[in-house]
Amino acid sequence: MSDVRFVWRTSRYVSAIAAAVVCLCALAVSAESPSETIIIKGVPHIQQKPDFCGEACIAMHLQKLGHNVTQDDVFNITVAKSPAGFTDADYARHIMNLKPTMPMGFTIVLQRPFVVIGDEQAGLVRYRAEHTVKWFVDRIEKLYFKKDPPKIYDIWLFKDDKSYRKHAEEIFGDRPDTPFGYCSDARGALVMNIATGGGTLCHEIVHAYIASNFPGCPAWFNEGLASLYEQCGTRGDTVVGLTNWRLEGLKKEIQADNLPSFETLLSTTSYQFYNMAKGNNYAQARYLCYYLQEKGLLVNFYNAFVRNAKDDPSGCETLKKILNESDMGDFKKRWEKWVLNLTFG
């Protein structure tokens, strides 16, 4: 294999290989029929594997130069790595393994670091991959995340509620308890009813990034940050969360004096967050993040929390420092008043 690496580092060999690929492809196109075989004199013949046209051509030319290289060697060695360590080969294998499980009429789009699959018209699936997934990923990475998600996630975009529920059960054995979408981390899938909009998709994309960039993230901040982008837009080139449907319920809880202290919210375990006053927890966490965003403190808080998580796993002390607050009870009163003045719709 050192022989292959030497060849690949040498620019004149690369140029020769590129020329060979062009010549071989030109000869293939000039064949009198699609089934006609072209044998080039002096070049070893390799039977191409499916989708390995370029790899087979390069391997043939390298063998002509005396190097013992297969089309698999070319595929495995000459690929670029993504920041998470996934190569072109990894993505290609992932898609090849995905195709047999994909129902008829679906389109696959590689939109790194995700693979997007949808049952709308192919052009619309590609549009959503670029104008929803890529649009959001580019901006959220710039704000917070240095690492790609820890696995290659598939984003399944189902065109309506009927398709969403039918395929969630057929493909994953799931019966969704939400009309919007959900993440199946065990299967590496974000399963979406895209007819309801892209908010839940953005929410779940944040979770995928948190998994690799902040693995010890407590539920309150994981869900607070993710739900912030359920309703989002831009200010300049920056993605920002906007007020959303959670605001009305939060206001009612504030007026009824039902919200826990921030110390209590931030110290909740995952079980407590997801099973005790779940709706209130989501809304309170979201609008704490929204407050930090509107005061220009959210990115600083995220970075400080990640740095300090070992010593401050709840984030409470970090939050106090970022807010420059010693009395979180007093802050909560001012925050509640601020929330009551917000509007949605």
Both 91 and 173 in one domain: the answer is yes
Assess whether pLDDT exceeds 90 at residue 142.
Answer: yes
- In this predicted structure, which of 178-187, 209-218, 293-302, 333-342 has the lowest mean pLDDT? 178-187
Assess whether 292 and 180 both reside in one domain.
no
CA 213, CA 236: separation in Å to the nearest integer? 25
* Average pLDDT rounded to a whole number, residues 40-48: 79
93 and 208 belong to one structural domain: yes
Domains in the chain, number: 3
CA 230 to centroid of chain Cα atoms: 15
3-state secondary structure of 268: coil
DSSP code string of 75-118: HHHS-PBPTTS-BHHHHHHHHHHHGGGSPTT-EEEEETTEEEEE
Residues 93, 33 share a domain: no
Domain edge (last residue) among 77, 107, 124: 77
Cα separation of 120 and 328, whole Å? Answer: 49
Point out the domain boundary residue: 188, 213, 238.
213
Q: Domain holding 134: CATH number? A: 3.40.30.160
Residues 171 and 196 occupy one common structural domain: yes
- Which residue has better confidence, 320 or 16? 320
- Single residue among 157, 189, 213 that ends a domain in this structure: 213
Same structural domain, 91 and 209: yes
Q: How far apart are CA 87 and CA 177, in angstroms?
A: 35
Residue 37's pLDDT band (cuts 50, 70, 90): low
Say whether both 66 and 155 belong to one domain. Answer: no
Cis peptide, bond prior to residue 218, ω within 30 of zero: no
- Does the pLDDT value for residue 45 go beyond 90? no
Determine the pLDDT at residue 233. Answer: 96
Identify whether residues 95 and 134 lie together within a single domain: yes
Question: C-alpha angle 112/113/118, rounded to 5°?
Answer: 70
Answer yes or no: do 90 and 72 share one domain.
no
Range of the domain at 63: 2-77
- pLDDT band per the 50, 70, 90 thresholds, residue 48: confident
Residue 64 has pLDDT above 80, yes or no: no
Lowest mean pLDDT among 77-81, 266-270, 271-275: 77-81
Q: Residue 19 above 90 pLDDT?
A: no
**What are the φ/ψ torsions at residue 330 (nearest 5 degrees)?**
-65, -40
Q: Which pLDDT score is estimated for 293?
A: 98
Residue 1 has pLDDT above 70, yes or no: no
**Token digits of residue 89:** 């080969």
Q: Is the dihedral of CA 179, 166, 192, 188 positive or negative?
A: positive
Same domain? 209 vs 224? no
Q: Give, in order, the Cα–Cα distances in Å from 245 to each of 193, 251, 257, 271.
A: 18, 11, 20, 24
Task: Indicate the burial class of 137 (C-beta count within 10 angstroms; 0-12, 13-18, 19 or more).
Answer: buried
H helical segments located in 177-277? 199-213, 219-228, 246-255, 262-266, 270-275
pLDDT band at 3 (very low <50, low <70, confident <90, very high): very low
Are both 226 and 344 inside the same structural domain?
Answer: yes
- pLDDT exceeding 70 applies to what percent of the chain? 83
Question: Is residue 331 scored above 70 in pLDDT?
Answer: yes
User: Same domain, yes or no, for 25 and 91?
Assistant: no
Q: What mean pLDDT is reported for the chain?
A: 86
Residue 301 and residue 224 in contact, taking contact as beta carbons nearer than 8 Å: no
